[in-house]
A = this chain, B = another copy of it.
Amino acid sequence: MKKPHSLDEAGLQRALAALRRVVREKGLRASSARERVALAALRYGGHFTVEDLVRRSKDERLEETHASTVYRTLPLLLEAGLLEEIRVHRDEGTFYERAFEREHHDHLVCVGCGAVVEFHSEEIEEVQREVAVSFGFVLTGHSHELRGTCTACRERGRESRA
């Protein structure tokens, strides 16, 4: 199906370079904790929460990384284009996923079982740009989430999560 083919070592290095660039141009300093979080995030396959990331940033090398540090690092990872924030469902909090060297996509979520499907429509992307232009805007991003019921849930009569 869809394999988010993880980044190879060279890719990880390019990602770290992008992060360092952002860090530098903000007058910040290099730090191992930050790169530990970045690596854990980049190696994470699929969607993850802050809590997931805190956990993985720990057991990577016995080095602990506190939640507050992860929270402080996330905005930088977003700005450096390593990650993207997604809201998979009206409840369940904020999720993240790798965006670095990965094609853009949006999400279709089943309100019955929570299954998440990734999709991409160049047609939609194009219309989005047209809409923005028609209002004098220059697009910098968007979030688009479709909700519905999957085949299995419809057969099971599951219209929303228990």
Contacts and interface: CB of A to CB of B under 8 A. Distances in A.
Interface of A: 85, 87, 90, 108, 110-111, 117, 119, 121, 123-124, 127-128, 131-132, 135-151, 154
Contacts of A123: 123, 127
Contact of A124 (B111, B128, B137): B128
A58 to B, nearest CB: 27
19 contacts: A108-B132, A119-B131, A119-B135, A121-B127, A127-B127, A128-B146, A136-B151, A137-B148, A138-B154, A139-B146, A139-B147, A139-B148, A140-B147, A141-B147, A142-B145, A143-B143, A143-B144, A143-B147, A144-B144
Contacts of A138: 148-149, 154
Contacts of A119: 131, 135
